[in-house]
Structures are given as structure tokens and as C-alpha cells.
Structure 1
Amino acid sequence: MTTITPSAAPAATPPKRSLWQRVPVVHQLRQSVGLQRGMLVTGLVLMAIFVLTAIFAPLLAPYKYNQLRADGVAFGAQQPPSAEHLLGTTVGGYDVFSRVIWGAQTAILVIVLAVVFSIFIGVFLGLVSGYFGGWPDRLLVVVCDAIYAFPSLLLAIVLSIVISGGRSSLWGGILAAALSITVVYIPQYFRVIRAETVRIKAEAYVESARVLGASNTRVMFRHVLRNATRSLPLLITLNSSEAVLTLAGLGFIGFGIEPTAAAEWGYDLNKAISDVTSGIWWTALFPGLAIVLTVLGITLVGESLNDLADPRLRGRRAVAKASGTVSETSVVPGGTLSAGPGGLAGLEDGESFDEHGIEVRP
């Protein structure tokens, strides 16, 4: 006699997410709820405005960043906002609106270069140092701790003077600012990647790869690096906002880019100091507002990503969906159990209450 056993039901497979849903920022946006989503959306909108302004600066700006006249007529210094100059003119005779637009392009170039240089150098040093250890590891830790303990703005000033003499052309000034910021941020990437590498290299799958004969290079870049860079998006956003402030600080104290070479918000703020005491507000308000909104947008995105990286906060949406009102749970055949102010005891005793909670006796 042949016994036929029913086949096991196939396990339910979770639905596959589309490529668009797997984009990092989109994925975090779908996970966020409430105030957290509002912060993330606000930050993304401000960042999008900043990036699009930098990309389309030649189309958005009515004048060049170093333009002083149009149709042979000089703009004039400290002119109030008007139809010809939407945000007025500076003490040097430049159009404020154009300088603010072109300043976004300068800022994003410095951010990209500084972050790219910092990631490549810091991640590589942290990976090698944490994986191999020994005296090179101890030496790199001491050097990076010394750099990290040094005031970042003062170090950027010194390096800017060494690289460019304090004043330079467009690309010379951008590279000087980016490299000076890079040296400041390398220790941060180094410490994060080194700590993750030390933890990950002791995992079982790394030991298994070594037993199977994988080389150190393959283990480092195939197994360790891919799992050690999960916190980099948060660090990139925070460093980007710090790069904007460092660049503005260099320009404010006179070690930035020359105004005839590029527009820079910190330099414009420096030249607007004397205007504030004279009641000329537009030369300082709009460059300062551009710095504040840019840093705010990047910081909001970074803080939101930090919250969403926490599994306890990441699961709030699932908890909110799973939770329900206890009174809506069906516990009796044919309907739901609704208890009055007297609770279940009141129902069991046959008591009834009116809408104000007062007992009604038959």
C-alpha cells in the first residue's frame, strides 16, 4: 500500500522591491514617518534647490559673478533691491543675486572635491590599518588623533596659506580649500572605517574566506569593505555641511577665493560688515541666508538618516500598522465586544450606562 504524503506548501517569498525603491534616499523616505519624514523631506528639498542652483547657475544668474556694468553703465555700489537688481548690489558694485547664485556653484565644487578626497584617503588608510594592525596601525592612530584634536578651521587656514598663499584663482582657490578641508576630515573617515574593520575581520565569514584561500586583498575589499561603509552616508552629509561652513569661514577672514575669480558667500559677508551698521541689510542678509539654508538642508538629511539607521526607530511604521484599538478586536461570535465605563464587570453584571457614564437601573 502506497502512502501519499501531501507536499509542503511553498514558503511565501517577500515581494521584490523595484530598482527605484532600492535607491538609498528613496528607501529611507519610505521608512520614515511623522516628524521624521517632515525633516527628511525638508532637507531633501533644500538640498535639491542648492544642487539645482549650482548646476544651472549660468542660466539663473542675470549677471556674471565679477560683472560690474551692463550696456556700458556701472551698477553702482550699495544699490537697494530693484527691478534691475533683485537683491541690490554690494559695496564693490556686484549684483547680490548673481553672487549668491554663483556662490552655490563654488560651494558644491569644494564639497565634492573635499568629500571625494577624504573618502578615498581616509577609507583606504582605515581599512589597511584596521585589517593588518601592528606598528603602522599604532602610528596612523596617533597621527590621525593629533590632526583630529587640532582646531579644524585653524588647520584649514594654515594649509590654505601654504597651498595658495591665502588668495588665488578659481581652481587654485577651490583646490586649496578642498585640500585643506580634506586633511581635516581624513581622521574622521579613518576612525570610523578602522573601528568597523577591526570588528568585522573577527567575524566567521571572514575567517571562512581565509580558510578557503582568499587573499588579503580579496578579503579586505570583497568582504570587509562592503560591510564597513554602512555609516558613510551619514558621515558624508555631516562633513558636507561642515565643508560649507569651513569654506565660508576661510572666505570671511580673508583666506578664500578672490572676488574676480569666483563668488564665495563668506567673502561677501566679510565685505558686508560695515554695511550692517549703516542700515544696508541686503548685502549681508542673502549670502548669510544661503549659508544657513544650505547647512540646514544637509544637516536635516544627515540627522534623518542617522535616526533611520537605528532599528528601533526604523520599525515604528511596522509597529504602527500592527497596533490597533483593543475594542475593535472581535472576541465574540458575530461582532465585537464593546465595554462601557463599567468595563467587562459592568457587562457581566447586566449593568448599563448612559453616554455620561451614569449607571441606569431598570
Structure 2
Amino acid sequence: MSTVSRAPKRSLASRLPVVHQLQQSVGLQRGMLIAGLVVSGVFVLTAIFAPLIAPFGFAQRRDDAGIFGAQQPPSAEHLFGTTVGGYDVLSRVLWGAQTALFVIVVSVILSIFAGVLLGLVSGYFGGWLDRVLVVVCDAIYAFPSLLLAIVMSIVISGGQSSLVGGVFAAAISITVVFIPQYFRVIRAETVRIKAEAYVESAKVIGASSNRIMFRHVLRNATRTLPLIVTLNSSEAILTLAGLGFLGFGIEPTAAAEWGYDLNRALSDVTSGIWWTALYPGLAIVLVVLGITLVGESLNDLADPRLRGRRAVAQSAGVVAETSVVPGGSLTAGPGGLGGLEDGESFDEHGIETR
């Protein structure tokens, strides 16, 4: 009685998207993914526990010992020194991670919700609505993203610099920039998927348009969203920093923001005061680099040609170790494989023996 071998079931942890991609990666690609995950994880943990890690508040200028003082060099009391406004640089950097994470979450969630919904409706129904949405989104997509974010920030914030108002103004202005990207991806996938046989079968049995869109089309059209989310997260940090650097971001009394701190440190650099600009700049570079490494690694692993490299390497190793002659694996002497096929053999000095 023959038995059919079954593939082993994957564990629950291996079914998670990032864990599964990590198991598929190999070599330099795995190193890049691990480095990106470590940097991104440190960023998220720092943002969550910033109130516990930061030695001072983001707008605090004095403690029990007195006023901090402006542009103080790094010392035991202030490890990263103080800014021109008298704030602790280390505390501003740590609290800035919380602001950046909040803006990323709000902007990505809002842009996904709006972009996916518009792309799904536009791609599925088509017609005049599709043409109008495509023209509008293409016009927004062609507009310079930072300039569009500046305009939307001015319109939304209205000069308000409160924590909620400033953060939401920055997040919503970034959302407007991201919506066309999700719209274009989801619309293209919807147009392709609605021509599949299972969608036509659902129409034949009388399924409603809403059920087909959200039950069959949506779940298959959003497989590339994790890749776009990671890349957009790094772009959101750069856009937020650009808004703050140009003076359209969040005031220091409302929240800590790396771009604003860089703007205030411009005059310090020419005076030899390096610590006020170095640490916010390093925070931006490291976080963007970490998120970008994760996004690029996931993008490479999503390619079937790159995804199968590990399997190909393993198969090559198995073939190389396969024994094709009794007593061991096939090896060629000085005469090559042709010499073996002719029955020739050679001693250790390469002399032919019969």
C-alpha cells in the first residue's frame, strides 16, 4: 500500500509576512533585511517608550538645578548638548521619533483607505468616473510632492501649531501626496483581476458588485501594499522633515520634530557648534535607511526570479553531492570526463595507466 508524502505544515510564526520573507532571504539580501528590521524596530521602540527614555521633556528648558543654557556642548548633564533655544538635544531626538511614527501611521492609514477605495471603484466600474479619477490622480502625482505638501499644510493648519493640529496637518498633507500611488496600483490590479474567470463566475451566479469587489477583487489586489507601505513610510519621514526645515512643520512647544531642529541649527554649524545639527540629521538618515532596506528587500523577495535563488542554491548543492558511480561521487582526472568514459585512469602524478 503506497503512502503519499505530505509537505510539512508551516508554523504560525513562519506564516507572518516578515518572518516568511526572512526565511526566504539568503546571503546579502538577508543581511540587508535583518539590518533594516533592527533599525526599524529600534525606531518604533524608541517612539513608543520616548516618555520613559528621554531625560527631559521635548519643550523643557530647566530643571531643579536651573536653566539648561543655550548651545551647551555635550556633557554628563546633557549627553548631546543643548540647542540654540535651550532644549536638550537628546530629549528632542527621542521625542522626535514619537512624532515621526505618529505622522507615518496617520498618513499611511488615511492614504491606504482613500487610495484603495478609489482605485477599487475606479478599476471595477470604469466609465466616466474612472476617467475623471485617473486624470485627477495623475495631475496630483505629477505635481512636486514637497510643494504640494507645503500648500496643503498651509491650507489645513491655518497657522495652528498645537500638537494635534500640527501633527494632523503634516499627516494629512502627506496623505494627499500618497493617495495617487495607492490609487494607481489598486486600479491596475483591479482591471486585471476583474477579467479573471472566478470573477466572471461570481457574476454569473448573481453575486452583487459590492461582494465581488470586497470579497474577491480586494483581497487579491492588495498583495503588493506592504511593499508600498514601507517605501512610503520613509518618504513620509523625509516629507515631514522637509516641512519642518522650511518652517511649515510643528513648533517646538507643540512637539519635537527633527526637520525643525535642523532648521534652527543652520546658524550653529557656521559657528562650529556641530551637535545641534548632527544628531537630528543622523536620526533622519538612520530611520529612512532602515525602512528603505526593509522595503527594498521585500520588493526583491516578491520577485519570483529572486525568490527562488535559495532553492536553486540548495538544489545545486544536492546535485553536486549526488553519487553517480558505485562507491562515491564522479570525479574527473587530468584527462577530464572523456578520459573516464574511455576507461582511462591516471596515477597521482598524472601518468596514464591501463
TM-score bracket for the superposition, by shorter chain length: over 0.9
SS of 1:266's partner is helix
Partner in structure 2 of residue 114 of structure 1: 107
Deviations 1:9-40 (A, max 9, x none): 34322211121110000000000000000010
Name the CA distance, whole Å, in 2 between partners of 1:181 and 1:302.
19
Amino acid at match of 2:329: T
Conserved 8 A contact 1:39-1:300: yes
SS at match of 2:129: helix
2:150 to 151, 157, 170: 157
Q: Tell me if 1:283 matches 2:252.
A: no
- Residue of structure 2 in register with 1:105 after alignment: 98
Alpha-carbon shift at residue 336 of structure 1 (Å): 2.6
Question: Amino acid of the residue matched to residue 75 of structure 2?
Answer: S
Matched with 2:32 is 39
1:1-362 → structure 2 map (5 Å cutoff): 9-324=2-317, 328-347=321-340, 348=342, 350-354=344-348, 358-359=350-351
In the aligned structure 2, how far is the partner of 1:148 from the partner of 1:158?
15
**Deviating more after overlay: 165-174 vs 21-30:** 165-174
CA gap of 1:239–1:166, structure 2 versus 1, over 3 A, is: farther
| Separation in structure 2 between the aligned mates of residue 326 and residue 135 of structure 1, nearest angstrom | 58
Determine if contact 1:47/1:298 at 8 Å carries over to the other structure: yes
- The letter of the residue matching 1:324 is G
Cα offset, 1:316, TM superposition: 1.0
Asked whether the equivalents of residues 344 and 353 of structure 2 are also in contact (C-alpha less than 8 Å), the reply is no
CA–CA separation in structure 2 for the residues paired with 1:17 and 1:256: 46
Deviations 1:228-274 (A, max 9, x none): 00110010011100000000000001011110110000000000011
Shift of 1:330: 1.6
CA separation of 1:180 and 1:326: change in aligned 2, threshold 3 A: closer
Residue 166 of structure 1 and its aligned partner are, at CA, apart by 4.5
Distance change >3 Å, CA 12–CA 326, structure 1 → 2: closer
Q: Give the match for residue 3 of structure 1.
A: none
Counterparts of 1:306 and 1:193 in 2: how far apart (Å)? 17
> Does the 8 A contact of 1:327 with 1:337 survive in 2?
no
After TM superposition, the score normalised by the length of structure 2 is: 0.96
Q: CA, structure 1 residues 300+333, in 2 after alignment: closer, same or farther (shift >3 Å)?
A: same
Task: Render the CA deviation track for 1:134-182: whole Å, top value 9, x for unaligned.
Answer: 0000000000000001111011111111111345111100100011001
Counterpart AA for 1:87: F
Q: Which runs of 5+ in 1 are unaligned?
A: 1-6
2-structure distance, mates of 1:203, 1:11: 33
Contact 2:82/2:89 (<8 A) preserved = yes
Q: Partner of 2:14: helix, strand, or coil? A: coil
Alpha-carbon RMSD across the aligned residues, in angstroms, is 1.5
- Rounded to whole Å, the distance in 2 between the matches of 1:23 and 1:335 is 42
The two structures have a TM-score, normalised by structure 1, of 0.94
The 1-side partners of 2:279 and 2:198 are apart by 54
What is the CA–CA distance in structure 2 between the aligned matches of 1:244 and 1:233, rounded to whole Å? Answer: 17
Kindly indicate whether the alpha-carbon contact (under 8 Å) linking 1:328 and 1:337 is maintained by their aligned counterparts in 2. Answer: no
CA distance in 2, matches of 1:314, 1:155: 37
1:56 & 1:194 partners in 2: Cα distance?
Answer: 39
Task: Write the deviation string for residues 73-119 of structure 1: whole angstroms up to 9, x where unpaired.
Answer: 11111111111001000011100000000000000000000000000
Q: Offset of 1:331 from its aligned partner? A: 1.9
Equivalent residue letter for 1:46: V
Q: Note the residue ranges of structure 2 that are not aligned, 5 or more in a row.
A: none
Identity between Structure 1 and Structure 2 (%): 77
1:148–1:187: 8 Å Cα contact kept in structure 2? yes
> Contact between 2:344 and 2:352, CA under 8 Å: does it hold in 1?
no
Letter of the 1:27 counterpart: H
Distance across 2 between alignment mates of 1:301 and 1:244? 15
Distance in 1, matches of 2:314 and 2:37, equals: 26
